[in-house]
């Protein structure tokens, strides 16, 4: 049996959590392969809203196995809160949740280092979620990090103190005074004490050699779905560097972040919003700083699930989408939030990038060039509410024109269309997808 992948094709927040939740009944294992608490996957069903940060979106289905892979970095405090929040809602979390012993730990001082680095960058700041992502992956690559499996070793506290001391001297050199800072409204000492308590919870979880675990599942004929976080344009190598996250968010990241061979990858579901959004800084060529942008933000409730920050909004960027399809080997496109366009008289997509009226290829390297222009293609909008529509044939004619245009331009089928935030708002255009 092979592995399917579901990931974001834009700057994150494409609505991946909901789609994984809808797809989950077709899979035995859902596995996260990169990122950490910077992710916020929102799922809505039975009138209730849930936001996940580390835990795979399969947690709401009783028999699904959920794996946090080696490519993920984990914050014990945020993880404990996540578990608590789910258990308060009566959701069983521990039975089917496995964590790689090779996943790296986010220390309290990683959070402060993130803050110090952002402050040092001033106007050039990345707009990080300040969850300690960059500094933790830095320690992983520098070979100084601490892994989940280390928690149960006898010298865990000595490892912790050694790394903490390195961080403290770095923080001092950045001019950050620990006593003046808080983390999640707690003083450093209070936060550290709670962090240590949360470590105890993790030591009681199922810690596994995740690469052996998942390959055994594959050999046993189980169906695996790898769930991406963030999006392709935030990839450390191919995103709009340096305004990116610190992991490989693309299909290739699945192999390294779970220990799965490339030949095992089967379908790749690329999730994209009907328009574009971005949180944090960095280039965004189709951004709308006008009424259209505000309308998208209001109708699409475009506020961050992790940080609550208002998201920047703009038209769909087809050159960027094609770039993401190329990098990921997307077999099926999944479009989300098309319902947000209801009531728009006109809408547009960026079809081509130009400099001095000459067509140029899309590249994340030159995205911030000031003379870069987007050639827009305009569409007539629609007024019909599509939230309850589950049949492609019943979609407004103008929306079908929009979908056809995207399929033709990208040369990739749109197999699934999400028509509302709820689990039930979904259209399967390709009904052979899971066969």
Catalytic residues: 13, 41
- Contact status: 280 vs ligand IMP (CB under 6 A): yes
Instruction: Sketch the per residue contact string, 30 through 49, with ligand IMP: x for CB under 6 A, - otherwise.
Output: --------xxx---------
The values of phi and psi at residue 79, to 5°, are -65, -45
Q: Distances in Å between the alpha carbon of 432 and those of 145, 147, 355, 415?
A: 44, 41, 42, 9
Cβ closer to ligand IMP: 207 or 279?
279
- Contact status: 336 vs ligand IMP (CB under 6 A): no
- Contact status: 131 vs ligand IMP (CB under 6 A): yes
Candidates 10-18, 90-98, 370-378, 419-427: pick the segment binding ligand IMP (CB under 6 A): 10-18
Specify whether the CB–CB gap between 334 and 271 falls below 8 A: yes
Cβ closer to ligand IMP: 79 or 243?
243
- Contact status: 13 vs ligand IMP (CB under 6 A): yes
Which residue of 107, 279, 288, 416 would you call a contact of ligand IMP, by CB under 6 A?
279
Min. distance of Cβ 399 from ligand IMP in angstroms? 26
Cβ closer to ligand IMP: 40 or 56?
40
Instruction: Sketch the per residue contact string, 98 through 127, with ligand IMP: x for CB under 6 A, - otherwise.
Output: ----------------------------xx
Which residue of 24, 100, 215, 230 would you call a contact of ligand IMP, by CB under 6 A?
230
Which residue of 3, 9, 12, 268 would you call a contact of ligand IMP, by CB under 6 A?
12
Which residue of 57, 64, 70, 128 would you call a contact of ligand IMP, by CB under 6 A?
128
- For ligand IMP, the binding residues in 205-224 under the rule CB under 6 A are none
Cβ closer to ligand IMP: 307 or 342?
307
Cβ closer to ligand IMP: 84 or 309?
309
State both tokens at 312.
Answer: 């920047």
Cβ closer to ligand IMP: 37 or 425?
37
Min. distance of Cβ 12 from ligand IMP in angstroms? 3
C-alpha 349/C-alpha 355 separation (Å) is: 18
Give the footprint of ligand IMP on this chain (CB under 6 A).
11-13, 38-40, 126-129, 131, 133-134, 229-230, 234, 243, 245, 279-280
């Amino acid at each position: 049996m092979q592995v399917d992948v579901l990931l974001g094709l834009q700057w994150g927040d494409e609505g991946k959590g909901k789609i994984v939740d809808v797809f989950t009944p077709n899979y035995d294992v859902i596995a996260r392969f990169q990122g950490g608490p910077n992710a916020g996957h929102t799922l809505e069903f039975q009138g209730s809203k849930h936001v996940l940060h580390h835990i795979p979106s399969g947690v709401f289905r009783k028999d699904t196995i959920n794996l946090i892979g080696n490519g993920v970095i984990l914050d014990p405090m945020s993880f404990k809160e996540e578990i608590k929040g789910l258990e308060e809602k009566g959701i069983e979390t521990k039975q089917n949740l496995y964590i790689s012993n090779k996943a790296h730990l986010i220390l309290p001082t990683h959070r402060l280092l993130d803050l110090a680095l952002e402050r040092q960058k001033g106007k050039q700041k990345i707009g990080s979620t300040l969850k300690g992502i960059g500094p933790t992956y830095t320690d992983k690559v520098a070979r100084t990090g601490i892994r989940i499996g280390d928690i149960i070793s006898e010298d865990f506290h000595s490892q912790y103190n050694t790394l903490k001391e390195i961080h403290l001297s770095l923080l001092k050199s950045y001019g950050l005074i620990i006593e003046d800072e808080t983390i999640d409204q707690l003083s450093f000492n209070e936060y550290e004490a709670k962090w240590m308590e949360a470590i105890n919870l993790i030591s009681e979880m199922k810690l596994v050699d995740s690469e052996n675990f998942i390959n055994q599942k594959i050999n046993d004929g189980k169906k695996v779905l790898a769930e991406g976080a963030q999006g392709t344009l935030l990839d450390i190598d191919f995103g709009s560097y340096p305004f990116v996250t610190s992991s490989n968010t693309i299909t290739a990241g699945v192999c390294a972040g779970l220990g799965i061979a490339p030949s095992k990858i089967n379908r790749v579901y690329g999730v994209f919003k009907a328009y574009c959004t971005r949180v944090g800084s960095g280039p965004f060529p189709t951004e709308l700083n006008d009424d259209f942008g505000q309308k998208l933000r209001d109708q699409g409730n475009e506020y961050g699930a992790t940080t609550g920050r208002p998201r920047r909004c703009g038209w769909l960027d087809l050159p960027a989408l094609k770039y993401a399809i190329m990098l990921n080997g997307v077999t099926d496109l999944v479009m989300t939030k098309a319902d947000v366009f209801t009531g728009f008289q006109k809408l547009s997509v960026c079809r081509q990038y130009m400099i001095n009226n000459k067509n140029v290829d899309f590249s994340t390297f030159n995205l911030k060039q000031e003379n870069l222009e987007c050639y827009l293609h305009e569409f007539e909008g629609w007024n019909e509410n599509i939230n309850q529509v589950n049949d492609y044939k019943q979609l407004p004619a103008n929306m079908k024109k929009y979908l056809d245009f995207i399929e033709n331009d990208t040369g990739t089928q749109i197999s699934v269309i999400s028509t509302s935030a709820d689990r039930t708002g979904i259209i399967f255009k390709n009904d052979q997808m899971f066969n």
